[in-house]
Amino acid sequence: MLKNPFKAALASRKPLIGLWLNMADAYAASMAGQAGFDWLVIDGEHGPNDLRSVLHQLQALESSPSFPVVRLPVGEKWMIKQFLDIGAQTLLIPMVDTREQAEALVRAVRYPPYGERGMGAAVARASRFNTIDDYAQAADREVCLLVQAETRQALENLDAILSVDGVDGVFIGPADLAADMGFAGQLDAEPVQQAIEAALVKITAAGKPAGILTFDENLNKRYLSLGAQFVAVGGDVTEFVTALRRLASRYGRGVGAENGKGY
Ligand SMILES: O=C(O)C(=O)C[C@H](O)[C@@H](O)CO
């Protein structure tokens, strides 16, 4: 029986703590999969990922209790069907600014007659090569579409985006939103924080899960208190580099472990 445990977890309304994976490596993903996070983003937008590397990370996470979320570089229909066919059940699509974009994405993740996804999963990992009997009937129900609102335009259109049936959650991208607002690298700027908080409250009030990523523990707690549900609290690359720099600096080597702000 086909099930998407991340989508079920979202429906529980419980907070879900996640981690960004940008190493684009199955071995590193399998390590992250044992750390205890609720969800892991395999980042195809800012990590050097392709279809094969995402496939290998999904396979590496098959036995992990952490739910994989695959972020595509862009919300293109042809790309969506390929990543769904390799078994991505939850897609995070960046830079969704309008209702029309959200509606097109919903069509792309659904089979006809409700959508435009091509039929091919019977020979793909998504159906475990046709060993999941109900895949074609259950896929539309179990797919989880998360869209990123990360521009001023997206926030202006947030009500319309939230109204689209089939959008299962809205993620606020703080770095891109800050840049679009003229505060590139300054995620803690007051206007940016005000916009983020208002958006999280609006998404939650609309009854849809709100997501965000910030490495700042105080901001994470603030966002969770405002109702954000799927909250990523760090990234593998940042943790790895910081740990190595900290170790080197203990022996007087390197340039210290402080990271730049505003990832
Ligand atoms: O705009 C943002 O912030 C995001 O979408 C998250 C970043 O892209 C992510 O790469 C941080 O590592």
* For the CA of 22, the nearest atom of ligand 1: 12
Mean pLDDT, all residues of the chain: 96
| Ligand 1 mutation pick, 176, 180, 241, max ligand atoms within 8 A of CB | 176
For ligand 1, residues with CB inside 6 Å are 20, 46, 94, 148, 150, 173-176, 213, 235, 263
Task: Tell me how far apart the alpha carbons of residues 96 and 108 are, in angstroms, rounded to a whole number.
Answer: 14
Q: Which of 17, 28, 31, 46 is catalytic?
A: 46
Domain ranges, ordered by start, for the chain: 5-235
pLDDT tens readout for residues 202-254: 999 999 999 999 999 999 999 999 999 999 999 999 999 999 999 999 999 99
Say how many CA atoms lie within 13 Å of 188 toward its Cβ.
Answer: 9
Q: Report which ligand 1 atom has the smallest distance to the Cα of 175.
A: 3
Nearest CA to ligand 1 atom 12: 263
Provide the pLDDT for residue 232.
98
What separation in Å is there between the alpha carbon of 168 and the centre of ligand 1?
A: 19
For residue 261, pLDDT over 70 is answered with no
Question: Ligand 1: which atom is nearest the Cα of residue 174?
Answer: 3
Give, using CA atoms, the residue closest to atom 11 of ligand 1: 263
Q: So what's the pLDDT on residue 256?
A: 78
What is the 148 CA–ligand 1 centroid distance (Å)? 10
Residue type, 147: V
Q: Which is more confident, 52 or 259?
A: 52
- pLDDT tens, residue by residue, 42-92: 999 999 999 999 999 999 999 999 999 999 999 999 999 999 999 999 999
Catalytic residue at 46?
Answer: yes
**Residue 175's pLDDT band (boundaries 50, 70, 90)?**
very high
Q: What is the pLDDT of residues 115-135, one digit of tens each?
A: 999 999 999 999 999 999 999
Note the pLDDT of residue 117.
98
Look at the block and give the residue holding tokens 């926030």.
Answer: 155
CA distance 180 to 35: 34
pLDDT at position 262 is: 56
Query: In terms of C-beta density within 10 A (0-12 exposed, 13-18 middle, 19 or more buried), how is residue 27 classed?
Result: exposed
- CATH number (3.20.20.60, 3.90.1170.50, 1.10.10.10, 3.40.50.10610) of 5-235 reads 3.20.20.60
Q: State the pLDDT at residue 186.
A: 95
Q: Where are the beta strands (DSSP E) in the chain?
A: 16-21, 39-43, 67-71, 90-93, 144-149, 169-172, 210-213, 230-235
ipTM score assigned to the predicted complex: 0.95
Closest C-alpha residue for ligand 1 atom 5: 173
